[in-house]
Every structure is written in C-alpha cells, then in structure tokens.
Amino acid sequence: EVQLVESGGGLVQPGRSLRLSCTASGFTFGDYAMSWVRQAPGKGLEWVGFIRSKAYGGTTEYAASVKGRFTISRDDSKSIAYLQMNSLKTEDTAVYYCTRDLIRYSYGNAFDIWGQGTMVTVSS
Amino acid sequence: EIVMTQSPATLSVSPGERATLSCRASQSVSSNLAWYQQKPGQAPRLLIYGASTRATGIPARFSGSGSGTEFTLTISSLQSEDFAVYYCQQYNNWPLYTFGQGTKLEIK
C-alpha cells in the first residue's frame, strides 16, 4: 500500500524550531518530488514547499511565507522527507501534510498521495 | 502570484442532484488545474488533474472541465459520501502552487 506518515508535530514556543518527518512506503520514494502543504485550523490549504528528486538535483522551492525559515530535505535511503522549521511564528500553527507528486521522474504536478497530517501549534 | 477564486463558498444540494462548482484563475493556468476533496478530519484526496482527468479510483460521476482561467467540477448525482469541502489548485505557475479557498458542499 502506498502510504505517507508524518510525525514530529507538537506544541512549540514562538521563535523555536521543530522538525517534521514524512516516512514513505509502498513506492520508490527516490523517484518522486515531495511537497509539504499546511492547513491552519478552520482554513484552507497552503503550499509550503517542495523538493525535487535527486534526478533533478534534489533542489527545493518554498512559499514566500516560509522562505528563509523552513528547509526541506530528503533521505532516499530511508524513504523520509523532512521539514525543518526555524523561527516559528504563531501563524505557522497548522496541520502539516506531506504529499507526493503525481508523476514519477517529474515535478510540478498535482499531488496524488497525502499523509494524514501532523499538528503543529506555536504558542507561548 | 496566481490567485484562485472558488464559487460559491457554500453550495446546498439534495442527494441525487447535480452539483456544479467553479474555480477561476487570475491568469491563465492552461490545463494545469487539480481538484481535491476533503472530509472533516481527513487529508485531501486528489479527484481531478489536468483539468479533466480523473485520478485513480475516482467514480465517473466526478468530472472536470475548462482551461485557461475558468474551470468547473461537476458531480452528476450526489451521493451521501460526496458532501465535503472541495479545493481547486493550479500547478501551472509552479513552484508557486496555489489553492482556491474551497467550496463547502452541504446537504440541502
């Protein structure tokens, strides 16, 4: 079964850091671009950033709201994607979803697989 | 940044009837448009990509149309499990993916 499982969420104070993990199974993780999408309580979906597969350099792109504070990385040997979040703000409070790019060996497409999400609460 | 605007915000429809949801882009996104369904407490699910291609396992009652700036998601005969929030997403202007604000489809 193709699956993504996020972990690492929790309560953190403003200005602190947190790292989320996304563990993949059921497919060849290294062949796909991966994205993070978040959803604030009662709000809509907001794309956070993505990482290309190693075939495309493993490079990353970010939304303006998180650029310079968040970093996405991947460990293909463990089938895990990471979201390192630094200098957290109260407005970063959200459920964070890990997603897979629809098309293998590509990027810049829709997201066909989503994890169940992990909640991050930024509060003092 | 491309802004995606969905209408209406809430749509009330009776089971068995047709539902039509709209999504408008602030500039052309060609056919690089996806639709997602989200039920309470669940992750979004991909329904449609490429504006009109159903994702794997999606029933035929879901259909998408449009190109450029105007898009429509149609559910031909609503089932009880279809009542949810629907989001459109453009991926033409990647890497700056943007989502619409969502349409809540509720039982009339």
Interface touch B43/A110, C-beta < 8 Å = no
Q: Which residue of chain B comes nearest to A119, CA vs CA? A: B41
Structure tokens at B58: 């999606």
**pLDDT above 90 (res B102):** yes
| B95 to A108: CB separation less than 8 angstroms, yes or no | yes
Query: Which residues are within 8 A (CB) of A122 and not within 5 positions of it... i.e. 6 or more apart?
Result: A12, A13, A14, A88, A89, A90, A91, A92, A93
pLDDT on residue B7: 96
In angstroms, rounded to a whole number, what is the distance separating the alpha carbons of residues A28 and A32? Answer: 8
d(CA A120, CA A70): 14
pLDDT category at A16 given cuts 50, 70, 90 is very high
Q: Which residues of B touch A72 (CB under 8 A)?
A: none
Answer whether B44 sits within 8 Å of A46, measured CB to CB: no
* Neighboring chain A residues of B97 at a CB cutoff of 8 Å: 35, 47
Give the pLDDT score at B1.
87
State mean pLDDT over A36-42: 98
Distance CA A12, CA B86 (A): 31
Mean pLDDT of chain A: 97
Q: What is the pLDDT of residues A63-96, one digit of tens each?
A: 999 999 999 999 999 999 999 999 999 999 999 9
Nearest CA in chain B to A43: B101
pLDDT in tens, B4-46: 999 999 999 999 999 999 999 999 999 999 999 999 999 999 9
CA distance A25 to A31: 13
**Whether A37 contacts A111, CB under 8 Å:** yes
